[in-house]
Amino acid sequence: MIIIKNLFKQYDNVTVLNDINIEVFDNEVFGLLGPNGAGKTTLIHILATLIKPTAGTATVNGYDIIKNPSEVRSSIGIVFQAPSSDDMLTGYENLKLHSLLYAVPKELREKRISEVLELVGLTNRKDDQVKKYSGGMRRRLEIARGLLHKPTVIFLDEPTLGLDPSSREVMWKYINRLVKDEKITLILTTHYMEEADFLCDRIGIIDKGTIIALDSPTQLKEQLGGEVIEMEFANKHVDKENIDRVLKQCNFVRKVELEAKNGNVLIYVDDASHNLPTILKILDKANNTEVESVELRSPTLNDVFLKFAQRHITKKQGQDEDEDDSEGGFMEKYAQYGNK
């Protein structure tokens, strides 16, 4: 279990983490999502006792990260965002080194090393120096190392970065099984939304050091307002109010929105596949609402991510309009790009 309380981290005058409060339950998979530079890695480093927070604290497995760092370190496993194995050593030697550092009992050392090597599919390359590995193989070695000493809490900072799709899928399945069978608590960061959706029980979206959303993937998607029907009308300047009025009679329509960029209309509905014919029928009868094309979408975590990130920026821009920092501008572009 991990309890993070009022955690702050400042570098010089920049606040990188701003009052983080999270409770990660035993045997939970918790995902940290957020744009580049949001503070995900910093948070993980703090929880792994590599960086000291400016204020606040956290407990990992019941140990305080400030008062009992070595107990914390014994009970966690971590896969860093960037590879950290020794290039000059072989894969096996790297694992051997870490099994000694983590004091894996001698009788189990060899067995354990060959188990994790097999898991990540590096058994036949174990005696090659790491500098001869491909990027994905290095990644897999890191993962093997993180699991080597059977930690009860595992941090994975973008674990499947650079893995091919099939390796990624195997890793997902493995992570899932690990958590179920062994009561592992897992915190992972990722930029792959489908990964977060597949693996995580709960997700925290973090932007500029602040948690801006925290819930289960299902709930987060639900918050977006059900499924979306995107309609293109023959009349490019269709009146949104008009459509809103026409569809008001249907109780399954939650809201109607105009897609700013292409003038399409977004209709948020429950049970879209059943209700779409009804909507089309109604629109057919109404004036000046000739439908040209229809696309039906269930919200993905991607939509959630973009929505929250975007809203956060809009809100921020509203607050301090003249302070249009470049990072916000980038995020906005990022968000728009993703929406298309």
Partner 1 sequence: MILKEDLWKNMPNMVINKSWIELGLGRLYAIWLREFKVFLREKSRLIASTFTPLLWLFVIGEGFGSTTDFFGTMDFAADSYIGYQQFIFPGIICMSVIFTSVFFGSYIIWDRKFDFLKSVMVAPVSRTTIFLGKAFGGMTTSLIQAAILLVVGFVIGIHYTPLSMVFIIIIILLLSFTLTSLGLTLGSHMESLEGFQLIVSFVVFPLYFLSGALFPLNNLPTWLSILTTLDPVTYGVGALREVMLGITGMNSFALNISVLLLSAAVLGTVGVLSFRRMKAV
Residues that bind Mg ion (CB under 5 A): 40-41, 81
Q: Which stretch binds ligand ATP (CB under 6 A): 40-48, 97-105, 180-188, 275-283?
A: 40-48
Q: Which is nearer to partner 1, 97 or 276 (CB)?
A: 97
- Cβ proximity to partner 1: between 98 and 312 the closer is 98
Instruction: Please report, as residue ranges, which positions from 284 to 303 form the binding site for partner 1 (by CB under 8 A).
Output: none
Q: What are phi and psi of 16, to 5 degrees?
A: -95, -35
Using rule CB under 6 A, residue 40 touches ligand ATP: yes
Q: Binder to partner 1 among 1, 3, 50, 276 (CB under 8 A)?
A: 50
Instruction: In whole angstroms, give the CA distance from residue 24 to residue 153.
Output: 10
Token representation of residue 30: 């918790």
Q: At CA 156, angle to CA 167 and CA 78, rounded to 5?
A: 115
Of the candidate residues 15, 18, 54, 74, the single one contacting partner 1 (CB under 8 A): 74
Residue written as tokens 């998979």? 29
Q: Positive or negative, the Cα torsion across 292, 311, 190, 181?
A: negative
Distance between CA 252 and CA 244 in Å, rounded? 13
Nearer to partner 1, 124 or 326 (CB): 124
45 binds partner 1 per the rule CB under 8 A: yes
Which positions from 6 to 35 touch ligand ATP by CB under 6 A, shown as an x/- string? -----x----x-----------------x-
* Contacts (CB under 8 A) with partner 1, residues 177-206: 177-178, 181-182
The angle subtended at Cα 145 by Cα 98 and Cα 115, nearest 5°, is 105
42 binds ligand ATP (CB under 6 A): yes
Strands across the sheet containing 291-297: 253-258, 265-269, 227-233, 291-297
Please, what is the minimum distance in Å from the beta carbon of residue 70 to partner 1? 5
The span from the CA of 39 to the CA of 50, in Å, is: 14
Please state the φ and ψ torsions of residue 64, each to the nearest 5 degrees. -75, 130
Cβ closest to partner 1, residue 186 vs residue 265: 186
- Looking at the DSSP bridge assignments, the partners of residue 167 are none
Residue 301's φ and ψ, nearest 5 degrees, are -65, -30
Nearer to Mg ion, 94 or 190 (CB): 190
What is d(CA 278, CA 284) in angstroms, rounded to the nearest whole number? 10
- 36 lines the binding site for ligand ATP (CB under 6 A): yes
Per the CB < 8 A criterion, the answer to whether 250 and 279 are in contact is yes
Residue number with the smallest Cβ distance to ligand ATP:
41
Q: In angstroms, give the least distance from the CB of 45 to partner 1.
A: 5
Q: How far is the CB of 324 from Mg ion (least distance, A)?
A: 25
Q: Which helix (H) or strand (E) holds 189?
A: strand 185-189
39 binds ligand ATP, rule: CB under 6 A: yes
| Binds ligand ATP by CB under 6 A, chosen from 4, 38, 47, 79 | 38
The secondary structure of 9-56 as a DSSP string is EEETTEEEEEEEEEEEPTT-EEEEE--TTSSHHHHHHHHTTSS--SEE
Phi, psi at 178, each rounded to 5°? -55, -45
Q: Does 81 bind ligand ATP (CB under 6 A)?
A: yes
Residues found near partner 1 in the complex (CB under 8 A): 45, 48-51, 70, 73-74, 76, 78, 80, 82-89, 93, 96-98, 100-105, 108, 111-112, 115-116, 118-121, 129, 140, 145, 149-150, 167, 170-171, 173-174, 177-178, 181-182
